Amino acid sequence: MTGAARAVILPAALIITVCLLALACGGGGDGSNGGTDDGPFSFNVSMGDNFYEPNVFTVRAGQKVTFHFRNEGAAVHNMLIAGADNKFNTEDDALSEPREIRSGGTGSLEWTAPDEAAVIKVRCEFHPTDSTGTIKVEK
């Protein structure tokens, strides 16, 4: 094998290995991000101008969930979860900490899914029509 061929094959093998590991470890959610049946769910969420990546989160009913945010955009962002009533700015909403995640900054949000199946809206308070997402709660 020439050096050049090895330089191509090795990274490819590494990528395949990482993908397999990700599949094996992704017990919940969309399989690439999430947790196991036993442990807490966590999602790593990138915040852009103005979107979340990913923006669909699948969790189990009653599951404790932690979102970890990194603001990769220039604008200030946050995440507000509508809660079990699926309405914003009501008592059961949950908001990221800090409320204002600045460019380059990080934040988090701990939340417990309701006990029933639901499709719950999330959005950024600063970009409520653009930065939106969905939490799918599965029974």
| Torsion angle defined by CA atoms of residues 41, 28, 101 and 109, in that order, rounded to the nearest 10 degrees | -30
Q: How far is the CB of 71 from Cu ion (least distance, A)?
A: 9
* Separation between Cα atoms, residue 55 and residue 70, nearest integer Å: 13
Closer residue to Cu ion (CB): 79 or 137:
79
Q: Which residues bind Cu ion (CB under 5 A)?
A: 50, 77, 124, 126-127, 131
Closer to Cu ion at the Cβ: 60 or 77? 77
Distance in Å, CB of 57 to Cu ion, minimum: 17
Beta strands in 11-117 (DSSP E): 41-48, 51-53, 56-60, 64-71, 80-81, 94-95, 106-112
Specify the residue, 27 or 54, whose C-beta has the smaller distance to Cu ion. Answer: 54
Least gap, CB of 127 to Cu ion (angstroms): 4
